[in-house]
A and B are shown apart, each in its own frame.
Chain A
Amino acid sequence: MSFAGTATCILLYALSSSSTLLAQGFDRVREGLPGKSEDRVGYTMTVRLDAENKRLVGKQEIRYRNATQGKTRELRFHLYLNAFRNVRSTLMRESDAAFRRGYKSQAEFGETRFTKLQLLVKDGDPVDLLGGLRYEAPEDGNADDRTVAVVPLPVDFDPGTEILLKSEFDVDLPKAYRRTGWGPGNFFMMAQWFPKLGVLQDADAGLSSWNCHQFHASTEFFADFGSYDVRIEVPAGFKVGATGKQIEEGPAGEGYVFHHFVQKDVHDFAWVADPDYSVYVEDAYQPVLDPKVSSILEDVLGYRTQELALTPVRITYLLQPEHDRKYVLERWKKSVHIALDFFGSRFGRYPYETLTVVDPTRDEDGRGLGGGMEYPTLITCGSPRFPHPRQLSPEGVTVHEFGHQFWFALSGNNEFESAWLDEGFNSWSEGRALDLAYRSYDKKLGVGAPLVTRAYGPWIFPGPPAASLGPLPKLDKVAIRRLVGKAAAYIPWYDKLDGALGRWNGELRLLPKGMPELDVLTYLPVLGNERLMPTSALYGDRAGFLRAGIKDPVDRFAWTYADRPSYRSNSYSRTSTNLATLERFLGPKVWTPLMRRFHERARFAHPKPGDFYRTVEEMGGVEAGRLARDLFLTTKSLDYSVTVKVKPPWGEKGLFDKGEKKDTEVNGATEITVYRKGQIVVPVTVRFVYWKDGAPVNEDVVWKAAQHAPWQRWVVSLADQAKKGELIQVYVDPPRTDLEPWFGPGGVYLVDQNLLNNAWQKTPNQRPAKRRATRALLWTQCLSNFFGVMG
C-alpha cells in the first residue's frame, strides 16, 4: 500500500481560542466550575445486539485531536472485552482463583475484534490500518493479554491536528461475572464494549505517548473527555438505558428497534438492555442545597447564593421485575435524591441532564451481575430481594455509585495510576452522605444512631453491624484453655478442629450461600444494649484500614500494591480514613471550601495526587499539607498513647535540717506520660479532667509537633489537685464533640493505630465490658440452640 500523499490526509485542526471554560488539566488557580470539557475525542457509533446469539456488531467513527506538544506514529486502543477471552488474560490472572473457577463453560467467555479499521482521508480513499494491528501488554508483558491493541499510523499524527477513523467490530459477549456481558433472563450489561482510544499525553523528545493500560483486575478507567453519539439497535421489546440523553427511537427493521443517545463532556459510554425491566422516570428532580454548607462556601470562598444553585435532573430507574415494588423504588429514589443534594451542595452542581439508575440482575448463586458500578450518567446498584430497612441496601451502593459521578465521571483521574483519587474520595463522601441522611440522631448533639444487628435466621446475633465488626466476638484463648482445661492439650487435633470449626463458625449461616431471597432473615432490629452508640461509616472504614495493615503507601499505581487486600484498603478504607482525619484536623470551615475548590479544579481535568496535596497545603496550611503527604505518600503510622502512674504520698521520713520539714506538705503526685509511638508527628491535645465542686473541669494542653521527643511527661502533684480538683481522667486526642454533628464521633486522628491506650480514668468502670460480654453471651446461647436443633 502506498502512503504517498497521506500527509495531507491528516485534517488540520485550528485550536479554538483558549477559554476559561475549557479544562483538560488540573487548573491550580481556577475558581468556579468549568462549564464544559476540552472535548478531545468524539465517538459516533451504531451497534446492534443479537440477543439470541449473545453478540454485538458495531460500527464507529472516531474523531481524535492531538492536544499534546508532540507527535506520534501510532494509535492505541483498549479492547477490554478480550479480558474475557480465556483464563490467561491479565484480568483473569490477577483475579482470585474462585473468580476463574466461576466460569462454567466455553459459552461464558467472550471476545472482541476489529473487522475493519481505516484512517479517513480528505478527498481520497480511506487507508487501511488493520494490517498493522498488534497486541501489547505494557504492564506485565503477558503475551496472552489482548486488551491493548497497537496500530501504527502511516504518517505522523502532529500536535494540534485531528484525525478521523472508521471501524467495524464485533463482539461475542461473555457472561457478566465482572459487569460486562449477559446474565440470566435476557439481561445485557454493555460496559467496556467498544474499541476505545487511550489517552495521548505529553512525553519527552517531541514525541507524545499513549497512556493505555491493560484491563486489570481492579482498575479500568482512564480516557479523554469527549462527545458520544450512539445508536443502539436491540430486538423489539427490549428496554434500554444508556449514558446520556435519548433523543430518538424507532423501528430499525428485521424486528429491531433503535435508541439514539447523545452526551457531551463524558469519558465513557455504557448501556444496558433487558426486556423485563420496569421503567420509572422522574422528569425533573430539583436537588436541594445544604444551607450549612452553602453558608460556609459563601463566607470563605465568596460565592453568591445563585452561583451555588443546582439544576434539575431527569432520573430513569430500570428495575428488575422482582424489585418492581413501590417500597423498593421509593428507597432508591430517596437515596439518589440524598446523593444529588449532598454532592451538589458540597462539590458543585451535577452538570448532566440525565441519570440512569440500573438494577442489575443476579445469577443463580446470588451474585449481582453488573454489581454496583459507575459509568458517566449511568450507575448500577443492586438491591437484595427484600431489602430490610436497617440494612442500608440499596442505599449504600446507590450513594456510592452516584458519588462516582463526581469522583470519576467529572474528575476523570487516571484510575489505573491513582485509584484512591476516585474510590477513596468517593468512599469518604459516601460515608458522610449516608451518616448524615440515614443515621438517626441524638437530639442534644445531633448524633447517635441505632445499631444494625446481624442475626442468623431466628438466631439472633446481638452485636453491632456485621459490616464493621466480625460476626463473632473473639474469645480469649486463655479462657478457653482454662475451661477445657489441660484435656485439650492432650487432644492432638484439638487446635486444628477448633480452627476449622471456628472459621466455619465465623460465617455461620443457617442457609448455604446463594440464597439471596432469604438474606432478609439475617437482618433483624437491634438486640443490643449499645443501642445509642452511633453507627457511622467511620467505624467500617477505620476497621478495614487497620485490619489490612500498612503494606504500601496509598499513592501508588493500582496494580503494584503488595496484594489485593492492600489495594482494597489503600484505595478505599485507608484513603477514606485519611480524609476523615484531615477533615477533623482542619474542621468544617476549612475542609468544606478546600474540597470544593479541589473538585472545581479537578472537574473535566484529570487530577493527579500532587494536585490534592498542593490544594491541602494552599488552603489548609503547611502542617495539613505535611500531614496529607505523610498519610498518602508514606507507610508511616500514627499512634499516641498515655500511661498514668499514681504515686501515693511518701510522707516525711528521714533526716532533715531545721526548718526543712514542713508538716503541712502534701507530696503525692500523678505522673502522666504521653508517648508518640508512630512515625507521624503532629500536634496532639492532651486533656486533664479534674473533679471540682461536683463537676468535671477540662484542661487541654497541646503537645506540639515541634517537640519531636518520643514522649512527654506531666506531673500533677497532690498540691495541684488540692487547688484544681482531683484528677479523674486523662485523654490524648480527646473526643471532639464539637465536630460530631459534622463528622461523627472520635478524636482528630482516626488513623490512630490503637485507641485502647488513648485515655485513662481513676475509677474503673466495668459496664462497657459487661455490655459487650452480655451480647456475646446471648449470641453464644443462640448458637447453642442452633446446635440443639441439630442434636
Chain B
Amino acid sequence: MSESQDKPVMDEEAQVPAFPGLLQALFLGPQALWTVLRAPVVLLFVFFCMTLPAFLLLSGYYENLNSVLAGNPLANGRGGLFLLQDYDRLHPGGHELPGLMQIVWTLMITFFAAGLLSTVGLGRRPRPGLTGFLSESGRLFFRSFRTLIPSLILILIWTGLFIVLLKPWVMGLDIVHASNMRAHWVLFGLNVLFLFGLGKILILRRLALARLVHTGRKSALLAWLWTLRYWMRHPFVTITAYIPLFLLFAGGALGAVYGLDALLARYFEQDSRPAYFMLAAQVFPLFYLAVNLASFLLARHLVAMDTAIREGGAAEPRVVFAPEPSKTEPATSVEKDAVGSGDVVSAKPAEANPDVRPSSSEEALAWEWTPEDSAKKEG
C-alpha cells in the first residue's frame, strides 16, 4: 500500500483513546474546522477548483449581458431592473444553469474529500504537499465514489418514503387534527425529522468514506455495514459532534449575510465597483467549503477512535492528537494514525512518540485528549 511510503506518526504503544463523551464531542467539530483552516493551501486549491467552472460559465453570461447593457444608459439607472428582466426574457440563447455542472460539483467534492482525509486528516510527516494531496485524491477517488452511491440511494429512498408514505400517513391521523396547533407542531416535527434523516445519511456517508481511507480497504459495502454498526454504538456522541458544525454552518452564514449587508451596503450602490463586492463576498462560499470539508475530517477522527478501541486492543491506551512541529508543513494540526488500525496491507507496529504533548499556545488549540477528559466514556 502506498501509505507505507509515508512515515506515519506513531503513538505510545498500546495507548488507545477512550471514545469521547458528549461534552467533549461538542468541541470536535470546531477543532476539525480549525484543522481545515490550518491547511490553507488545500482549502484554497479546492475552492479554486470549485469556483473555476462557475467563473467560466459566468464569463460567457457576462459577455452576452454586457453586449446588450454596456451601450444602454438605462441599465445603470433606477429602472435598470426592467432591462435585466427583458434580457432574461428575450435573450434567445437563454439557458438554465447547466445540469451537468451539478454533477461535476458533486464529484469534485467526492474526489477531494478522500484526498483530504488521507492527508490533512491523517498525521503524516512530512505532510504531502499539493501534489501529494492530488495524488491521494486520485488514488482514492473510486473508493470515495463507491461510498457515495449508497448515500445517494438512501437520500432518494428517505425522501420518497417521507413524502409519499410517512408524512401523508401521520398527517392523515385524526388525532393530529384535534387542534390547529397540534397539527402544526406535528408538521413541524415531521420537517425536523426529515432534515435529521437527511443529515444522518450525509454523516453516514462521511463515516463510511473515513473508514475506507482509515483502513485502506476497498469495499464500500463493508465500510457502510461497519458504519451502520458504528452508528449503533455511538449515535448520541456522533450527533452531538456534528451539531456544532451545523450550527457554525447555519449561524456563520446568517451572521455573514447580515454582516455583509451592513458593511458593504455602500458598494451596492449604482455605479459602484462590483469587484470589491465580489472579492468580499467570497467569504461565503469559502466558509461553506471549509465547514463541509471539516465535516469529513470530523468523521475521520470518530472513525479513528472507534477503530482504535475496537480493533486495537481492549486496554485503555492513550492516543493524543497533536500538531507535529514540522518545518515543511507548519500550519496544520496532525492526527496520529491509530494503533493497529486493521490496515492489513500497511499494518506497521505502532511506535511510541514521546513528543506528542503540545508545547506552545498555538498547539494548545489543537486536538488533545487525555484519559482524564475521556472519563465519561460512552457505554
Contacts and interface: CB of A to CB of B under 8 A. Distances in A.
B77 interface: yes
A502 B180 contact: no
Contacts of B100: 484, 488, 494, 497-498, 501
A713 interface: no
A761 B72 contact: yes
A322 to B, nearest CB: 5
Given A460-B253, A476-B61, A783 B97 contact: yes
A122 interface: no
B54 A781 contact: yes
A16 to B, nearest CB: 48
A765 B76 contact: yes
B292 to A, nearest CB: 5
B167 interface: yes
A474 B281 CA distance: 21
B64 A756 contact: no
Interface in B93-129: 93-103, 105-110, 113
Could you tell me the dominant secondary structure of chain A's interface residues? mixed
Nearest to B94: A474
A437 B275 CA distance: 34
Contact of B78 (A462, A473, A740, A776): A740
A591 interface: no
User: Interface size bucket, B side?
Assistant: 35 or more
Contacts of A198: none
A143 interface: no
A531 B268 CA distance: 5
A780 B195 CA distance: 23
Interface string A473-514: 111111110111000100000100111111111100001101
Contacts of B232: none
A152 interface: no
B163 to A, nearest CB: 6
B13 interface: no
A534 interface: yes
B268 A756 contact: no
A778 B79 contact: no
Contact of A791 (B107, B177, B265): B107
Given A787-B102, A788-B106, A473 B61 contact: yes
A791 B110 contact: yes
B80 A781 contact: no
A774 B282 CA distance: 11
B179 interface: yes
Contacts of A458: 249-250, 253-254, 288
Given A475-B60, A745-B79, A185 B180 contact: yes
Interface stretch (B82-90, B217-225, B312-320): B82-90
A784 interface: yes
B73 to A, nearest CB: 4
A469 B73 contact: no
Contact of A767 (B76, B107, B191): B76
A184 B93 contact: no
Interface in A526-581: 526-535, 539, 542-543, 546-547
Contacts of A371: none
A746 B79 contact: yes
Given A276-B181, A542-B82, A785-B288, A527 B55 contact: no
User: Interface size bucket, A side?
Assistant: 35 or more
Contacts of B178: 185
A510 B79 CA distance: 32
A480 B56 CA distance: 9
Contact of B96 (A455, A474, A778): A474
Interface string A184-201: 111100000000000000
Contacts of A488: 100
B75 interface: yes
Contacts of A547: 89
A783 B109 CA distance: 13
Contact of A529 (B97, B202, B274, B284): B274
A692 interface: no
A486 to B, nearest CB: 14
Contacts of B88: 469-470, 473-474
Nearest to B85: A543
Contacts of B202: 789-790
Contacts of A335: none
Given A529-B277, A735-B78, A765 B70 contact: yes
A472 interface: yes
Interface in A162-187: 184-187
A533 B82 CA distance: 11
Contacts of A527: 257, 260-261, 281, 284
Contacts of A524: 254, 257
B191 A784 contact: no
B192 to A, nearest CB: 9
Given A470-B88, A542-B85, A769-B66, A517 B106 contact: no
Contacts of B188: 517
Contacts of A756: 68-69, 72, 83, 86-87, 90
A771 B155 CA distance: 37
A722 interface: no
B50 interface: yes
A505 B292 contact: no
Contacts of B55: 777
Given A515-B191, A539-B82, A755-B83, A546 B89 contact: yes
A483 B171 CA distance: 47
A767 B94 contact: no
Of residues A532, A764, A781, which shows the largest number of chain B Cβ atoms within 10 Å of its Cβ? Answer: A781
A92 B25 CA distance: 56
A755 B195 CA distance: 44
Contacts of A186: 179-180
Contacts of B90: 754, 756
B85 A774 contact: no
A787 B285 contact: no
Given A274-B180, A476-B60, A533-B78, A785 B69 contact: no
B95 A780 contact: no
A322 B184 contact: yes
B81 interface: yes
Contact of A760 (B72, B195, B260): B72
Contacts of B1: none
B94 A476 contact: yes
A758 interface: yes
A729 B73 contact: yes
Given A364-B183, A458-B250, A543-B89, A755 B82 contact: yes
Given A476-B95, A479-B61, A517-B184, 9 more contacts: A321-B180, A477-B93, A478-B93, A502-B95, A517-B187, A758-B74, A776-B58, A787-B106, A791-B108
- What are the 3 tightest A-B residue pairs by CB atom distance, in nearest-first order? A479-B60, A501-B99, A791-B109
Interface of B: 50-51, 53-66, 68-91, 93-103, 105-110, 113, 148, 152, 155, 159, 162-163, 167-168, 171, 177-181, 183-184, 187-188, 191, 194-195, 202, 249-250, 253-254, 257-258, 260-261, 265, 267-275, 277-278, 281-282, 284-285, 288-289, 292
21 contacts: A184-B171, A276-B180, A447-B78, A458-B250, A460-B253, A468-B85, A472-B97, A475-B58, A525-B258, A525-B261, A527-B257, A529-B268, A530-B270, A531-B268, A765-B69, A780-B58, A783-B102, A785-B285, A785-B288, A787-B106, A791-B113
